Amino acid sequence: MSSYENLGELLDPAVTVLLTVECQQGVVGPDSALPELARQARSSGALANIARLVAAAHESGIQVIHALAERRPDGRGASHNARLFRAAERLPVQQLSGTTAVRVAPPIEVAEEDVVVRRLHGLSPIQGTDVDALLRNLGCRTLIVTGVSANVAIPNAVFDAVNRGYTAVVPTDAIAGVPADYTPAMIRHTLALVATLATTDEVLGCCQGPRRR
């Protein structure tokens, strides 16, 4: 984990973007397709911490990107090459384009200046989406990664960010996965090797100040 001083240098609002991953109603909301994950995201405080980070980003001028996963009603373009995708097709709640399931979940607030990126395939919010091009156009050097799940999409996002030359910062209490004890193990043994780890409060402490965008 980096020192607080180093974290402050990394989180210059002019070159920092906050990414929320699959924080949508059909995933972390009360009518989630994945109720165990939704419960963990809420009971752990991760969803509330993400909302705090988003609010602070809006205040400080850090750009926010919300990465959502959805599916066309006809399934065109959807991935079928992994067990996870096939299981998702049978869930009672579908992440269908245009439905409430693919809206950003409360208590996270979406501001007019936020960017929402939707993907129809794959496991990563970065690979094969507009996110990388957007980050480069925004002058991003540091990407704060939050959301779900610590099992799949979060490590995908961190690896993809690092492979593309960004510095990844992970607020460890603003991500969630299942079972509950998996997330800290994955952080300790995987993300700690490639990302800068911090708490939500530490990140918030470095995001105080006037808007710079």
C-alpha to C-alpha distance for 127 and 113, rounded to whole angstroms: 23
pLDDT in tens, the chain (213 residues): 455 558 999 999 999 999 999 999 999 999 999 999 999 999 999 999 999 999 999 999 999 999 999 999 998 998 888 888 888 888 888 899 999 999 999 999 999 999 999 999 999 999 999 999 999 999 999 999 999 999 999 999 999 999 999 999 999 999 999 999 999 999 999 999 999 999 999 999 998 655 544
If you ran DSSP here, which 8-state letter would residue 166 be given? P
Q: What is the pTM of this model?
A: 0.94
CA dihedral 79, 83, 89, 91 (to 10 degrees): -140
